[in-house]
């Protein structure tokens, strides 16, 4: 951590950031895509009632996210530095791999979800208030929240906590209203019927899991700003786990309410009519629960709810870019912070990319693109748990060697400082303050589910997946350009691999 870095993000703010990053556009827009996907997979003339497969999607997505959070918690305890996958992959594999994850996060990993949330917000507002330009609303919200987080970390933290509390209250109210106020609920059954298990193990479920994974993305949010969280070795793992668990429960209940209030056939038909535009299912459900007048108010409140998600991603994402700038001279200007410790240029870059996506891309195209790109690095990061544990015997040997070297009274102060820092880091790897619960089963579940989704995205959404891979290759080219520029220099601030 740099000398002027201040730890000002509390444990509760870290939980709020995880919750706010997760609960966003996905849960309020993706069930239409899921219903349409299962409609295509249903045999002609067969009864269309995919209640069990849809709810299983959200349960499986939650389990996978929890397994990911449990795994990331151990890595956060080993390597308590901001940057998320950029930091972890640089340490576990090679700085180039870390750079690629940071490159994807900086270019689309946060920018694209911010754009999607802004687009969904604009869609909700335009649906409720005819004549309003949804794109103008989306851009306005993006610029205002960017300005808030560029001003002060404490102001941004307060805004994040308040907006997240409002979000939670709205979701609880929506679920309560769905169960107890809905005048004409749908007759649904969550008991699996004939053909449901076949559908669950088919390609439609795997592709739909990409939508759900997008909705759950953000479960690793607090890992991106470890440097700014009080007592990160303890609070980052706890915030990841508690935030993800709370959102999993909320998502399952919320999607049950959507199916309970809006006919699934109507959801599928509306989405199939325009597969490139997200379905504002929250507004449709609120209209069924509360009636047209109050339903419109709830639709606007859902739009306001998305502000918290946009805020959380604008808060967390630029910290990845900042850390990359600290390590790579080619990007050093992105590491510059103002007097209040805020990476203003990194925030501006991310929001500029979000703005471009809002103006040029469709919701569906962006979603499949980022799903495959991000899965590459979350998969590799969780795999790193197995790799780091396999290296512990070598690391223990290195610890003994360092302790022996520190007994040498002829060591210079600089050599002693370097060895002591290495000793602390390696001791944290051998005995982290948090270990993955359920190891090796929990990380294996994450790897199996993520790998399964990636396979179907690559084979059935090939164009978006190949564009994602092209983005990674472009990042690799930039990395080697930076490396060639450093060949005649001795210093290298990039995090080293952990082999010993």
Highest mean pLDDT (candidates 3-12, 107-116, 204-213, 349-358): 349-358
Q: Could you tell me which of 53, 20, 5, 59 has the C-alpha nearest to residue 252?
A: 59
Q: Could you tell me which of 64, 2, 24 has the C-alpha nearest to residue 312?
A: 24
**pLDDT tens, position by position, 255-289:** 999 999 999 888 988 888 887 777 888 888 988 99
Mean of the pLDDT values across residues 481-494?
Answer: 64
Question: How many residues are given for the chain?
Answer: 500
The number of angstroms, rounded, from the C-alpha of 481 to the middle of its chain's C-alpha atoms is 29
* pLDDT of 153 above 70: no
CB 1 within 8 A of CB 147: no
What is the value of pTM for the model shown?
0.79
CA distance 238 to 232: 9
Place of tokens 């690391």: 395
Q: Return the pLDDT at 7.
A: 58
**pLDDT tens, position by position, 364-414:** 677 777 788 888 999 999 999 999 999 988 888 888 888 888 887 788 888
CA distance 23 to 254: 11
- Per-residue b/e over 85-103, b at no fewer than 16 CB within 10 Å? bbbbbbbbbebbbbbbbbb
In DSSP terms, 21 is beta-bridged to none
CA distance 24 to 491: 42
In DSSP terms, 9 is beta-bridged to 229
CB 278 within 8 A of CB 366: no
* pLDDT of 5 above 70: no
Q: Return the pLDDT at 497.
A: 45
Q: Which of 126-135, 210-219, 223-232, 393-402 has the lowest mean pLDDT?
A: 223-232
Q: Return the pLDDT at 420.
A: 86
Confidence band, pLDDT 50/70/90 cuts, at residue 3: very low
CA distance 356 to 370: 15
SS3 string, the chain, reads CCCCCCCCECHHHHHHHHHHHHCCCHHHCCHHHHHHHHHHHCCCCCCCCCHHHHHHHHHHHHHHHHHHHHHHHHHHHHCCCCCCHHHHHHHHCCHHHHHHHHHHHHHHHCHHHHHHHHHHHHHHHHHHCCCCCHHHHHHHHHHHHHHHHHHCHHHHHHHHHHHHHHHHHHHHHHHHHHHHCCCCCCCCCCCCCCCHHHHHCCHHHHHHHHHHHHHHCCCCHHHHHHHHECCHHHHHHHHHHHHHHHHHHHHHHHHHHHHHHCCHHHHHHHHHHCCCCCCCHHHHHHHHHHCHHHHHHHHHHHHHHHHHHHHHHHHHHHHHHHHHHHHCHHHHHHHCCCCCCCCHHHHHHHHHHHHHHHHHCCHHHHHHHHHHHHHHHHHHHHHHHHHHHHCHHHHHHHHHHHHHHCCCCCCCHHHHHHHHHHHHHHHHHHCCCCCCCCCCHHHHHHHHHHHHHHHHHHHHCHHHHHHHHHHHHHHHHHHHHHHHHCCCCCCCCCCCCCCC
Determine if residue 185 is left, alpha or beta; phi over 0 gives left, psi from -120 to 50 gives alpha, anything else beta.
beta
Q: Return the pLDDT at 152.
A: 67
């Amino acid at each position: 951590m740099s000398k002027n870095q201040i730890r000002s993000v509390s444990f509760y703010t870290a939980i709020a950031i995880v919750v706010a990053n997760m609960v966003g556009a996905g849960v309020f827009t993706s069930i239409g895509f899921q219903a349409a996907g299962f409609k295509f997979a249903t045999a002609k003339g067969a009864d269309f009632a995919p209640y069990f497969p849809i709810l299983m999607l959200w349960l499986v997505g939650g389990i996978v996210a929890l397994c990911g959070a449990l795994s990331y918690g151990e890595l956060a305890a080993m390597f308590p530095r901001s940057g998320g996958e950029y930091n972890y992959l640089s340490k576990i594999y090679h700085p180039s791999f870390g750079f690629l994850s940071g490159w994807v996060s900086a270019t689309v990993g946060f920018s694209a979800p911010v754009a999607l949330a802004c687009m969904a917000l604009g869609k909700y507002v335009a649906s409720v208030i005819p004549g309003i330009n949804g794109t103008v609303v989306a851009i306005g919200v993006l610029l205002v929240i960017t300005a808030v987080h560029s001003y002060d970390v404490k102001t941004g933290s307060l805004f994040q906590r308040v907006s997240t509390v409002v979000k939670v209250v709205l979701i609880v109210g929506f679920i309560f209203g769905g169960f107890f106020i809905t005048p004409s609920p749908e007759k649904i059954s969550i008991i699996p019927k004939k053909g449901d298990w076949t559908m669950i193990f088919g390609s439609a479920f795997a592709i739909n899991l990409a939508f759900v994974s997008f909705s759950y993305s953000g479960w690793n949010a607090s890992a991106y700003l470890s440097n700014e969280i009080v007592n990160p070795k303890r609070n980052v793992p706890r915030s990841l786990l508690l935030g993800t668990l709370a959102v999993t429960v909320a998502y399952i209940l919320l999607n049950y309410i959507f199916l309970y209030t809006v006919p699934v056939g109507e959801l599928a038909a509306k989405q199939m009519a325009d597969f490139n535009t997200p379905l504002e299912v929250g507004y449709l459900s609120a209209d069924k629960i509360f009636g047209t007048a109050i339903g419109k108010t709830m639709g606007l409140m859902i739009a306001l709810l998305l502000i918290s998600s946009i805020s959380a991603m604008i808060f967390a994402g630029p910290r990845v870019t900042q850390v990359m700038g600290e390590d790579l001279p080619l990007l050093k200007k992105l590491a510059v912070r103002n007097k209040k410790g805020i990476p203003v240029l990194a925030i501006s870059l991310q929001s500029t990319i979000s703005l471009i996506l809002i103006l040029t891309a469709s919701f569906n195209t962006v979603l499949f693109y980022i799903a495959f790109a991000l899965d590459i690095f979350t998969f590799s990061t969780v795999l790193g748990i197995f790799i780091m544990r396999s290296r512990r015997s070598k690391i223990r040997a290195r610890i003994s060697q360092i302790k022996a070297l520190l007994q040498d009274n002829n060591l210079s102060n600089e050599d002693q400082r370097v060895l002591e820092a290495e000793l602390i880091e390696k001791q944290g790897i051998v005995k982290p303050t948090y270990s993955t619960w359920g190891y090796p089963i929990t990380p294996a579940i994450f790897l199996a589910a993520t790998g399964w989704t990636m396979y179907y995205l690559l084979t059935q959404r090939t164009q978006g997946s190949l564009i994602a891979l092209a983005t990674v290759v472009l990042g690799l080219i930039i990395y080697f350009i930076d490396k060639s520029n450093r060949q005649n220099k001795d210093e290298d601030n990039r995090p080293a691999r952990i082999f010993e």
